[in-house]
Homo-oligomer: A and B are copies of this chain.
């Protein structure tokens, strides 16, 4: 039955379609909205439209951005000759938070995953090849996720770049035991990777 009227039911439905928001949460959010001042509802509503409208891909690294080129590619402090290839803008943000990396990024927006119907042409690999063919890049760091899809994508890109860019160093981020982790609880594959990747002290 229609307990609350169409407008509120529609809002509950809309919230319920968002990922991780169930029926109860959707109801709580909708009630929160209607109990707030109109300003706040307008503000949320506008933010949704603005994000959808203003967001575009950076023409250099394919990161999502308002301004083209994005803040990283546009910064004179960054070393454009080193490119870290990540799957997702959130992975880029995670690396930015380390404050360690001074190069630039390339965002693939996904990983090759035949199971999910995602092939090499569905992610931004062509754009990466174009960047490399311009000849200013000296190192490509493959920082795709350490899972099946990420590893396959890294291997695919490696094979693709190798023949066309002989002077480009291609590296993969290290696998190993996470800092602060407990060796007892680390899985076998990670442990054997940590062993084979051991470095002299």
**Chain A residues proximal to chain B, CB less than 8 Å:** 1-8, 10-11, 13-15, 17-21, 25, 27-34, 36, 38, 40-55, 63-67, 70-71, 89-90, 92-93, 96
List 4 tightest A-B contacts by C-beta distance, closest first. Answer: A5-B66, A41-B52, A3-B93, A11-B51
Q: Are B45 and A41 in contact (CB under 8 A)?
A: no
Sample of 22 A–B contacts (CB below 8 Å): A1-B96, A3-B89, A4-B65, A4-B89, A4-B93, A5-B55, A5-B66, A7-B50, A7-B66, A8-B55, A10-B51, A11-B50, A11-B51, A14-B44, A18-B29, A20-B29, A21-B29, A27-B90, A30-B51, A33-B48, A45-B48, A48-B48
Complex: how many Å from CA A8 to CA B133? 31
- Contact check, A45 vs B49: say whether CB atoms are below 8 A apart: yes
**How many chain copies?**
2
B66 engages A31 (CB within 8 Å) = no
A27 contacts which chain B residues (CB < 8 A)?
A: 90
CB proximity of A74 to chain B, nearest CB, Å: 11
**CA distance in complex: A13, B27 (Å):** 20
Quick one: closest B residue to A43, CB to CB? Answer: B14
Alpha-carbon separation in the docked complex, A63 to B70 (Å): 49
Chain B neighbourhood of A30, CB < 8 A? 51
A8 touches B51 (CB 8 A): yes
Q: Which of A17, A18, A65, A89 has the most CB of B within 10 A?
A: A18
Given A11-B48, A50-B7; A29-B19 close (CB under 8 Å): yes
Q: A8 — which chain B residues lie within 8 A by C-beta?
A: 51, 55, 64, 66
Q: Which residue of B lies closest to A48 (CB)?
A: B45
Given the complex of chains A and B, what is the CA–CA distance between A81 and B49 in angstroms? 47
Q: Which chain B residue shows the least CB distance to A30?
A: B51
> For the complex, what is the distance from the CA of A41 to the CA of B51, rounded to whole Å?
9
Cβ-defined contact, B33 with A52, below 8 A = yes
